[in-house]
Chain A
């Protein structure tokens, strides 16, 4: 009985050992190559549980996810107008043909990335060399990225890799050029500021001058209307006087003269030197006699 039990235990252990050495799991995120004595015999691209011959066969795993090649430091590129720009980019890539990948770069990710970097770098130099800074920064940015993706992809297929995307991250001017850009921006702002200030004072002056003009016009217009009204009044008064005095001008002269005498001789300081023989004093000299 004791022998039976130990036999059972022994079989169990043997089974477990056999299972671990003859079964392998490929994860959702992995690709696997099955080697038999160094020779590639199978490629597993879908996840799951697989068998292998223990000892004779072994498995290597590769990442099936999208990987990133990101340049550590921005590199200098020269544009068509011989200006330097600093470019930082990243490449998204993925192993699609794992056998090819293993054969070409021995499954070494670093090696693959170096290979990709070289391709991208040289095609980028070509593209930048034909374009101005403006094109590179804004105008044809998409186009450059698309061309590079195609070129890089075509090359990467040779090592079993698909290039999903190549994107320019930073396209910057080198420090010394940046300084001159800053100076230019400053000068530009100064221009804007001066323009604003001078147009401000010009507008202000315009408004003032316009106000002064309006004042003159308003006053002149008012003066004209005032004079017209006065003239109208004078004319009407003259007509009324004329109409009234016309019937007897002689009496008007007499009557008006008397008024004038009254008005002009009413102060004590007005001195009259009179001749007592005048008509007015006839009764003064000769009270008894009636008028001649």
Chain B
């Protein structure tokens, strides 16, 4: 029975303390077998060879003592798993910390080993357990500087930086972290205004809490480094949640109203600018038109004037006759000889006007229509003739 014994290998693999009872039993069994075999070999002479027996017996004791010693020495082997530290105490006094792997210490009771888990981030939760929804109101409701109450949850992550300190300096070190966390965060919240904690100051609060907690824990020489304090949730308490939500909504309403106003402005001003541009363009157009037409008319007049100056009388007559021709060819006319007539001349002017209208001939009264239709003949000559006739009839 030694180090090479498969028994050892198995025990090591389990990494627990060696099962001494089992080993003892196995050892006894083997010993018995050994003695029996020896005894069996000299079975016949056991009675007569009394002198032989003690020698064999003492040899057996020596073997037994040697085996026991080996066993004892071997019990000093232990395994430190990855992520653990083995803390070796010699007669209760700290000697060394061992890294992962197969290690040996002086066997019990000279030295003992305690394993401490150093790897991995540990967490404590303040104000909730496991899930942010399962709140612990006793922990989570805190008083702020402006005497408001807020509901806050946060998680603290920490690692062991010094396993010896962690093991030796504090009773219930995990609890100490929880206590330090709670007192630190409350101190910081107590010194901050509510709005600061709820809105803009979240990161700052967490940073300050980290610093303060580390300070407290260092005072306890607890061997822990705070890696992170995260604020999970910071809200006004449920009792006033509705009012807070409404205030947030009010902020949104304000933005909405502003935007609506802006939308109106964005609609009205460009339109006005458009209208203004139109006015300006129109006026510019008017200006150009007036000037151009004046220039045109002036030029026309000047040219005519030049010719007029050369022969005023003829030009004057020509212009006059041109005009009369154009006018008379386009209008209805009645010739009345006033010198020969008197004041009794009756002309149904309204009828004549109606008749001369392009679409009113059918509505003329039958009696008047007969005369007027003839009188308002488009042909200038016919009309004058009729007019004369009418006049004669009147004068008769």
* A contacts, CB < 8 Å to B: 1-2, 5, 25-30, 46-49, 63, 65-68, 70, 90, 92, 133-134, 137-138, 141-142, 164-165, 167-173, 178-179, 181-182, 185-186, 189-190, 192-194, 196-197, 199-201, 203-208, 210-212, 214-216, 218-219, 221-223, 225-230, 232-234, 236-238, 240-241, 243-245, 247-248, 251-252, 254-255, 258, 261-262, 265-277, 280-281
Q: Which residue of A lies closest to B320 (CB)?
A: A258
Q: A5-B57, A168-B187, A244-B298 are in contact. List 12 more A-B contacts (CB 8 A).
A: A49-B91, A66-B171, A68-B171, A92-B220, A169-B182, A208-B265, A226-B279, A236-B294, A243-B298, A266-B330, A272-B334, A277-B338
The B interface, classified by DSSP as helix, strand, loop or mixed, is helix
Given A48-B91, A48-B92, A233-B286, are A200 and B253 neighbors across the interface (CB < 8 Å)? yes
A269 CB, min distance to chain B CBs, angstroms:
5
Chain A binding site: helix, strand, loop or mixed by DSSP? helix
* A251 in contact with B338 given A65-B169, A169-B183 (CB within 8 Å): no
B330 engages A205 (CB within 8 Å): no
A196 adjacent to B287 (CB under 8 Å): no
Return 24 A-B CB contacts under 8 Å, by A number: A5-B57, A27-B92, A47-B89, A65-B169, A90-B183, A137-B147, A138-B144, A142-B187, A165-B220, A168-B187, A171-B143, A182-B239, A192-B250, A204-B261, A225-B280, A227-B283, A228-B283, A241-B298, A245-B301, A255-B319, A272-B331, A272-B333, A273-B336, A273-B347
- List, in ascending order, chain A residues with CB within 8 A of B284's CB: 229
Shortest distance from the beta carbon of A258 to any chain B beta carbon, whole Å: 4
A-B contacts, CB under 8 A, total: 334
Do B294 and A240 have beta carbons less than 8 Å apart?
A: yes
Q: Does B175 contact A (CB under 8 A)?
A: yes
A169 CA to B175 CA in the complex, in Å? 13
Contact across chains for A214 and B272 when beta carbons are under 8 A apart: yes
Encoded as 1 (CB less than 8 Å from any A CB) or 0, chain B from 325 to 338 comes to: 01110111111111
Give Cα distance in the complex from A218 to B142, angstroms. Answer: 58
Q: CB distance B333 to A164 under 8 Å?
A: no
A94 vs B236: C-alpha distance in the bound complex, in angstroms?
39
User: 10 smallest A-B Cβ distances: which pairs?
Assistant: A200-B254, A233-B287, A222-B276, A244-B298, A226-B283, A207-B261, A237-B294, A211-B265, A204-B261, A193-B250
Nearest-neighbour CB distance to chain A for B362, whole angstroms, equals 16
User: What residues of B have a CB within 8 angstroms of the CB of A230 in the complex?
Assistant: 283, 286-287, 290
A165-B220, A185-B236, A190-B246 known; A265-B253 Cβ under 8 A:
no
- Cα distance A268–B273 in the bound complex, in angstroms: 47
CA distance A221 to B58 in the complex (A): 131
Bound Cα distance from A240 to B323, whole angstroms: 25
What residues of A have a CB within 8 angstroms of the CB of B288 in the complex? Answer: 233
From A47, A138, A201, A241, contact of B257 by CB (8 A): A201
Q: Which of B149-183 contact A (CB under 8 A)?
A: 149, 167-172, 175-176, 179-180, 182-183
Given the known A-B contacts A222-B275, A226-B280, A230-B283, are A211 and B268 also in contact in the complex, defined by CB atoms under 8 Å?
yes
Q: Are B175 and A68 in contact (CB under 8 A)?
A: yes
Identify A268's interface contact among B275, B326, B332, B347, CB under 8 A: B332
B230 → chain A, closest Cβ, in Å?
Answer: 20
B327 adjacent to A261 (CB under 8 Å):
yes
Cβ–Cβ contact B327 & A200, under 8 A: no
A218 touches B273 (CB 8 A): yes
CB of B291 within 8 Å of the partner chain: yes
> How far is it, in angstroms, between the C-alpha of A30 and the C-alpha of B275 when the chains are bound?
95
In the complex, whether B30 has a CB less than 8 A from a CB of chain A is: no
Cβ of B23 within 8 Å of any chain A Cβ, yes or no, is no
Name the A residues within 8 Å of B337 (CB-CB): 275-277
Residues from chain A with Cβ under 8 Å of B272 in the complex? 214-216, 218-219
User: A261, B323: Cβ atoms under 8 Å?
Assistant: yes
Interface string of B286-311 (1 = CB under 8 A from A): 11111101110111011011001100
Residue in chain A with minimal CB distance to B296: A240
A237–B288 Cα gap in the complex (Å)?
Answer: 10
Q: How far is the CA of A247 from the CA of B302 in the complex (A)?
A: 9
- Interface hit among B4-12, B39-47, B349-357: B349-357
Report yes or no: B287 in contact with A173, Cβ–Cβ below 8 A. Answer: no
Closest CB of chain B to A203's CB: distance in Å? 5
With A181-B147, A273-B334 as known contacts, state yes or no: A168 contacts B183, CB within 8 Å.
Answer: yes
* Given A68-B176, A229-B284, CB of A277 within 8 Å of CB of B339: yes
